Structures are given as C-alpha cells and as structure tokens.
Structure 1
Amino acid sequence: MQDASELLDARPDLSQVCGPQLAALDALLAPEWPPLWRELCTSCFVTLRHLAQGGAAGLDTDAHDLARLALALTMGLAQDFGGQPLYIPVGAALMSAAKTRRIVAALRSGNSYAAVARRHGVTERRVRQIEAAWRAAEIEKRQGKLPL
C-alpha cells in the first residue's frame, strides 16, 4: 500500500482548479452553504478526483459520484466539528518523513542524486543531506551512542 502523502504528491493545488473542472460539484452545492463549507467540499472533491484519476482502488472516476462523496464528507466534517474552532496542522513532519523514506528508497534502488532530486523537487545537496541523516540514524539504531 502506498504512503498517504505519496498518494497526494501530484494533487493539484486548489488555486489550479477552475470552473469546468468543478462543474459537477457546483451543480450540487446549495446557495445557502457557508463559504467554509464550499472550500472544504472543493478540497475534498479535488482530492477524490486526483485519487480516482490515479487509479486509487475502489474510486469511480465519474465526476458526479465524486462530487456526491465530497458533499457527504463535508457534511460529516460539519456534523463532527461544526460550531467549534478547529486548527488543522499542515503535517509538515509527517509529510517530510514520508518524503525522506521515498528519497532514501530511490537512492537505494540505484537512482542518481540528480534523478532523485528532480523527481522529488529538491536539490542534489538536499538529497545528500537526507541520505547522510538517514545513514547516521541507521548507525545509531544499530550501535546506539557509544561512549568515547
């Protein structure tokens, strides 16, 4: 099974999605929906479309079905968390850890630093830093901190 952050690597940003791509969703949104509900629903819809187009298991690619799922998810979020302040952290550490695992795996499978850097949107220097940190962590796991 793929890592969750890997599934969303190429997910389009909400600012990149425009009218025709949202037509199926817009047709279902009631005018009285608050702006935050609309934004959450759009986010859910974009994620579902991305996953369905990428062949995620069990997701139909029909835009109308995905729009209905996005509405249901948004209404569930409103039911569970509505009426209270909600802070959603960006999950930088989680995303970073998953990306690190993918970079190390790519290096271990024989890819060059340049190829790995291009594929993951980082510099070659950063790839080398990640590899060095990973190696240090692996050595520490095996040896512990040896007193000198």
Structure 2
Amino acid sequence: MAQAQEQTISDTNPLIAIMQASASLQQAQLTNEQVNANTTELQATKLNDVYSNANDDLQQIIDKLNSKSSTNEINEITAQYNLASSKYSNYENVLSSNVQTQETQTQGIAQDQKMTVEFAMDANGVESYLGNLLSSSMG
C-alpha cells in the first residue's frame, strides 16, 4: 500500500511553482538592493567625513604659517601639509572606489530584478495562454 503524501499546489502545477520562485527571487533581490543602498549611503557618509576632516586638518596646518615664519618653519609646515593631504587623498580614493562599486552592484541587482519581473510576466502569459487553450478545447 502506497503511503499518502501531502501535495502542495506547486507540486501539482509547475506554473505556480515558477511564479512562487519568481516572487521569492524578486524579494531576495529587493533585500540585496536595500543592503547595497544602505552600504553605499554609509560609504558616502564616511567619504563626506573624510572631506570634512581633511579640510579642518589642512586648514590648521596652513594657519601655522604667518609673515614671520622662517624658511625652516615653512618647509616643515609644507611637509606636514603634503603628508596630511596625501593621507586624505588615499582615504578618498578607497572610499570613492567603494561607493562606485556599491552603486554598480545596486544597478546590476536592479537589472536582474527587471529581468525577473519580465520572466514572471512571461510565465503569467504562458499560464494564461494554457488556460485559454484548455478552456477552448473543453468547450
């Protein structure tokens, strides 16, 4: 005697399974897109902080110069300025690259999501076509 198995709708109708899979995929893509957008925003905020800190620090270094500064003081302050400027430039490059990478990933996910929606619409179209075909053959 065969053991009775509980079947779900998706077990008996592959089109419903396709629609369920499509909806799950869209939900996962939206979640991924949201995470990427939040990460991009965080990176952009950090980049803005770097700009703010750089401006403050570099201004403080420049403010050390005055009309009575000796050549040695000018050279020392110039070296400090160049070192700080280089450090902040490196931070900027890394964070800017991260922001651009996150934006590219978000755009890629959005494109994947568009394709998933199109796939779901195609699956829905096939389901409608098969339903119409079935109803016309029964009539």
Q: TM-score, normalised by structure 1?
A: 0.23
Structure exhibiting the larger radius of gyration computed from Cα positions: 2
Q: TM-score, normalised by structure 2?
A: 0.24
